[in-house]
Amino acid sequence: MQNDVLEVLYSEQQIQDKVKEMGELITRDFEGKNPLVICVLKGAFIFMADLVKRIDLPLETDFMAVSSYGASTKSSGVVKIIKDLDISVEGRHVLIVEDIIDSGLTLSYLIDVLERRNALSTTIAALFDKPTGRKVDLDADYKGFVIPDAFVVGYGLDYGEKYRNLPFVGILKPEVYSH
């Protein structure tokens, strides 16, 4: 696995430090509230697990799986809900936990859905942000790292469903993609 990695961009320690910092900010900003924290599966599952441990609030958690139509690595903007939430968002302060924002199409669709279901507020926490890929006007309220337009894997992020279990985030050797 680790032999397929060309370069480590963010070490396990760097990620942990950042997640702790984000959790502290969220704890401060949501004081007195009990947010519904939504993990966007699958990519955000490790970030979600680490982040909620750093949020000192009476929060609730739920999970949603979405996928964009088409086989491309780029989002098409047409998003399909694979697994919906169990808990109603109506009247709730919702914190959406996402691994990475590229075009922003996935999250803008999700926010639309949550607002139509009468969420009281929607807030985004994204570990990674690729602002150069943006196709819609959307920004994360809490973001970990701003990265250039490269395809990254690890810490929940996959390539062909693999590499999610790497404890760090990096880029793969070019030959991995040509296999």
Query: Would you please indicate which residues are annotated as catalytic (active-site) residues?
Result: 102
Query: Shortest gap between Cβ of 113 and ligand 5GP (angstroms)?
Result: 14
Chain positions 145 to 174 lying near ligand 5GP, rule: CB under 6 A, are: 151-153, 157-159
Residue 158 and residue 43 in contact, taking contact as beta carbons nearer than 8 Å: yes
Query: Shortest gap between Cβ of 56 and ligand 5GP (angstroms)?
Result: 27
Q: Which is nearer to ligand 5GP, 30 or 155 (CB)?
A: 155
- Amino acid at position 163, single letter: Y
Chain positions 90 to 109 lying near ligand 5GP, rule: CB under 6 A, are: 98-106
| CA quadruple 30, 36, 40, 45: dihedral sign | positive
Query: Shortest gap between Cβ of 115 and ligand 5GP (angstroms)?
Result: 17
SS (H, E, C) 25-63: HHHHHCCCCCCEEEEEECCCHHHHHHHHCCCCCCCEEEE
Q: Which is nearer to Mg ion, 50 or 99 (CB)?
A: 99
Residue 102 and residue 140 in contact, taking contact as beta carbons nearer than 8 Å: no
* Interface residue list for ligand 5GP (CB under 6 A): 43, 75, 98-106, 151-153, 157-159
* Interface residue list for Mg ion (CB under 5 A): 40, 43, 99, 158
